[in-house]
């Protein structure tokens, strides 16, 4: 990263929730803190359950465990700083800390998307090629798929961060967001080629996300076709139930992302932008946890067996 960036701007100020009425900030802090803790502890519970319960040592739950790790790290990359700023008057963030936050948020965010795509492929193989499932989804192949998702997330995070922080920032150092959001940061660049950089960043990100979405849709086209060939309604329902939690999370993930990044330009304000961004950074991981915990009967039973009954034994 060029040294001239440091000579012009050495730190940024996160505007975040500064325009909100002061009496609302403690309420938002408590709400987001509870959601953050629930997301953190819930995902740790899922990981511990999968680790303890040998019946869950299958590809689907290996991917779910990796997804829980990515959600924890994505949330940790953004939420603690946001919570601190809600109760603080000091909202500055150094140049290097901002670059790090952008890198890790993109890395873990894209890793999450790639893992959802791999989980869709896992369901496709399990339903459309059940006799070859153990061959196609061997432990070695699953480990390679997980490693590729993390490598892909790292490449995306590094690529976007290097493109953005290669620019020169001058003038205002106020980022109109509660974290180092790429589009808000690009508005502070003082070079004429900023518009082409914005297009480049959007092209890289949208291509990756649309690619993941397309492969998920393709997987479910084949899955639905295979399910419709099952003669009994009970068999169809039982087969489709193994996909419901993953499909719901995919729809939620892309719906919130589309609502935030593809909204019409005229329909937003500083208030709505901040609140809508929290739906993706705080609420989506929180909601994903609830979906996987409640919609997955096998996981729910394992949690109940290994933890709930131990700490909350039934009364005689």
| CA-CA-CA-CA torsion sign (272, 263, 161, 156) | positive
- For residue 165, the enclosing domain spans 11-264+278-311
| Residue 4 is assigned to a structural domain of this protein | no
pTM of the model: 0.87
| Residue 257 is assigned to a structural domain of this protein | yes
Q: Which 3 state secondary structure label does DSSP give 194?
A: helix
- Contacting residues for 105 by C-beta, under 8 A, at least 6 apart: 74, 77, 78, 157, 179, 180
| Residue 108 is assigned to a structural domain of this protein | yes
Strand-strand pairing, 174-175 and 11-14: parallel
| Residue 96 is assigned to a structural domain of this protein | yes
Q: Assess contact for 14 and 179: CB atoms under 8 A.
A: yes
pLDDT reported for residue 315: 53
| Residue 269 is assigned to a structural domain of this protein | no
Q: Assess contact for 105 and 77: CB atoms under 8 A.
A: yes
Output the domain CATH number for residue 170.
Answer: 1.20.1070.10
| Residue 76 is assigned to a structural domain of this protein | yes
Q: Assess contact for 190 and 148: CB atoms under 8 A.
A: no
| Residue 271 is assigned to a structural domain of this protein | no
- Number of folded domains that form the chain: 1
- Contacting residues for 110 by C-beta, under 8 A, at least 6 apart: 152, 153, 156, 157, 208
Per-residue pLDDT of the chain (316 residues; tens, 9 = 90+): 444 444 457 788 888 888 788 888 899 999 999 999 999 999 999 999 889 888 888 999 999 999 999 999 999 999 999 999 888 888 888 889 999 999 999 999 999 999 999 999 999 999 999 999 999 999 999 999 999 999 999 999 999 999 888 888 877 788 888 888 888 888 888 766 677 787 888 888 888 989 999 999 999 999 999 999 988 888 888 888 888 889 989 998 888 877 766 665 544 555 666 777 788 888 888 888 888 877 777 888 887 777 765 665 555 4
CA atoms of 63 and 111, how far apart (whole Å) = 11
Find where tokens 């304000």 sit.
Answer: 269
| Residue 70 is assigned to a structural domain of this protein | yes
pLDDT reported for residue 27: 92
Q: Which DSSP category does 169 fall into?
A: B
Q: Assess contact for 271 and 264: CB atoms under 8 A.
A: no
CA atoms of 197 and 84, how far apart (whole Å) = 31
- Taking the alpha carbons at both ends of the chain, their separation in whole angstroms is 66
Find where tokens 């590094």 sit.
Answer: 158
pLDDT reported for residue 191: 66
| CA-CA-CA-CA torsion sign (43, 47, 52, 58) | positive
pLDDT reported for residue 38: 92
Q: Which of 107, 54, 88, 61 is nearest to 306 (CA)?
A: 54
- Contacting residues for 44 by C-beta, under 8 A, at least 6 apart: 68, 72
Q: Which strands, in side-by-side order, build the sheet including 174-175?
A: 92-94, 11-14, 174-175
């Amino acid at each position: 990263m060029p040294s001239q960036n440091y000579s012009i701007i050495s730190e940024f100020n996160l505007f975040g929730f500064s325009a909100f009425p002061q009496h609302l900030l403690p309420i938002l802090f408590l709400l987001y803190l509870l959601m953050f803790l629930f997301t953190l502890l819930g995902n740790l519970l899922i990981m511990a359950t999968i680790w303890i319960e040998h019946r869950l040592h299958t590809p689907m739950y290996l991917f779910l465990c990796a997804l829980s790790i990515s959600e924890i790290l994505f949330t940790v990359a953004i939420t603690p700083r946001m919570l601190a700023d809600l109760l603080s008057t000091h909202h500055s963030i150094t140049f290097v800390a901002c670059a790090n936050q952008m890198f890790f948020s993109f890395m873990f965010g894209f890793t999450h998307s790639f893992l959802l795509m791999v989980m869709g492929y896992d369901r496709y193989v399990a339903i459309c090629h059940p006799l070859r499932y153990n061959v196609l989804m061997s432990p070695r192949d699953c480990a390679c798929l997980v490693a590729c998702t993390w490598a892909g997330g790292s490449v995306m995070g590094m690529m976007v961060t290097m493109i953005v922080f290669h620019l020169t920032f001058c003038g205002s150092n106020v980022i109109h967001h509660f974290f180092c959001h790429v589009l808000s940061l690009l508005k502070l660049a003082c070079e004429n080629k900023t518009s082409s950089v914005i297009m480049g960043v959007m092209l890289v990100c949208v291509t990756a996300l649309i690619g993941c979405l397309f492969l998920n849709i393709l997987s479910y086209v084949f899955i639905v076709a295979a399910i419709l060939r099952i003669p009994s309604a009970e068999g169809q329902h039982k087969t489709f139930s193994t996909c419901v939690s993953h499909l719901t999370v995919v729809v939620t993930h892309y719906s919130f992302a589309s609502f935030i990044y593809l909204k019409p330009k005229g329909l937003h304000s500083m208030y709505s932008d901040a609140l809508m961004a929290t739906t993706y950074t705080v609420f989506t991981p929180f909601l994903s946890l609830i979906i996987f915990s409640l919609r997955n009967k096998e996981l729910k039973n394992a949690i109940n067996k290994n933890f709930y009954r131990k700490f909350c034994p039934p009364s005689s």
